[in-house]
Chain A
Amino acid sequence: MRRRRSRWAATTLGTVFVALYLFPVYWMVSASFKTQRDIRAIPPQLVPLRPDLSTWAERIFGDPRVFHYIANSFIVALGTMVLTVVLAAPAAYALASLPLRGKQVLMLASLSSLMFPAIMLATPLFVIFSRLHLTDSLLGLVLADTTLALPYAIVLLRPMFASVPQEISEAAMMDGCNRFSAFARVILPLVVPGISTVGVIAFLWGWGDLVFALTLTGDESKRVVTTGLWGFFGANTSDWNGAMAFSTLAMIPPLVLFLFSQHRVTAGSIAGAVKA
Chain B
Amino acid sequence: MSSTVDSTGIADASRSGATGRPAGPRGAMSRVSRSGRGRLTPYLFVLPAILYLGALLAYPVVVNVITSFQQLTAINLLSGDAAWVGLDNYRAALHDPLAVSAAEHSVAYTAAAVVVQMSLALGLALLYSRTFPGARSLRSLYLIGYAIPVVVSAQVFRWMLDGRTGFVNWVLQSLHLQDSHAPVYWLADTRTALPAVIAVQVWLGVPFTMIALNAGLMVIPQDLYEAASIDGAGPLARFRYVTWPHLRPTFFTVTILTVIFCFKSFDLVWIATQGGPAGASEILPTLAYRLVFQQFQFGEGSAVLNVVFLVLLALSTVYLWALHREDKTQ
Chain A residues at the B interface, C-beta cutoff of 8 Å: 7-8, 10-11, 13-15, 17-18, 21-22, 24-25, 27-28, 31, 39-40, 42-44, 86-88, 90-91, 93-95, 97-100, 103-104, 106-109, 111-128, 130-131, 143-144, 146-147, 150-151, 154-156, 158-160, 162-163, 166-167, 170-171, 173-174, 178-180, 183, 204, 207-208, 210-211, 214-215, 225-226, 229-230, 233, 235, 238, 240, 243-244, 247, 250-251, 254-255, 257-258, 263-264, 266-276
Contacts and interface: CB of A to CB of B under 8 A. Distances in A.
Contacts of B152: 28, 229, 247, 250-251
Nearest to B4: A163
For B1, B41, B45, the residue with the greatest tally of chain A CB atoms inside 10 Å of its CB is B45
B46 A118 contact: no
B72 interface: yes
Contacts of A244: 155-156, 159
A119 B151 contact: no
Interface in B262-317: 264, 266-267, 270-271, 274, 285, 288-289, 292-293, 298, 301-302, 305, 308-309, 312-313, 315-317
Contacts of B250: 274-275
Nearest to B131: A7
B53 to A, nearest CB: 6
- Assign chain B's interface to a size class: 35 or more
Nearest to B164: A40
Contacts of B264: 115-117, 119-120
A127 B298 CA distance: 9
Contacts of B270: 210, 214
A211 B266 contact: yes
A266 B143 contact: yes
Contacts of B142: 18, 21
A230 B158 CA distance: 12
Interface stretch (B58-66, B84-92, B95-103, B109-117): B58-66
B285 A119 contact: yes
B28 A159 contact: no
B36 interface: no
Given A244-B159, A254-B148, A87 B21 contact: no
Nearest to B150: A208
17 contacts: A21-B142, A31-B159, A91-B45, A104-B13, A104-B14, A108-B320, A120-B309, A123-B305, A125-B56, A156-B7, A166-B21, A208-B149, A214-B293, A230-B271, A258-B143, A269-B5, A274-B212
A191 B288 CA distance: 40
B257 to A, nearest CB: 6
Contacts of A268: 1-2, 5, 215
Contacts of A106: 46, 50
A15 B124 CA distance: 11
A179 B132 CA distance: 47
A27 B61 contact: no
B194 interface: no
A15 B326 CA distance: 33
Given A95-B9, A117-B266, A226 B151 contact: yes
B57 interface: yes
Contact of A128 (B9, B60, B134, B144): B60
Contacts of A27: 156, 160, 167
Main secondary structure of the interface of A (DSSP, over half): helix
Nearest 6 CB-CB pairings of A with B = A271-B215, A117-B264, A208-B149, A94-B45, A124-B60, A98-B42
A238 B185 CA distance: 13
Contacts of A103: 9, 13, 17
Contacts of A131: 78, 80
B170 interface: yes
A21 B206 contact: yes
A121 B57 contact: yes
A183 B4 CA distance: 19
B144 A258 contact: yes
Contact of B7 (A112, A159, A215): A159
A173 B215 contact: no
A270 B271 contact: no
A43 B160 contact: no
Contact of A11 (B17, B25, B134, B153): B134
B5 A112 contact: no
Contact of A230 (B61, B64, B78, B151): B151
A97 B267 CA distance: 38
A261 B323 CA distance: 28
Candidate in B41, B128, B214 with the most chain A CB atoms within 10 angstroms:
B41
Contacts of B195: none
B226 interface: no
B10 A108 contact: yes
A94 B264 CA distance: 31
Contact of A40 (B50, B139, B165): B165
B32 interface: yes
Contacts of B136: 264
B245 interface: no
A146 B57 CA distance: 10
A250 B212 contact: no
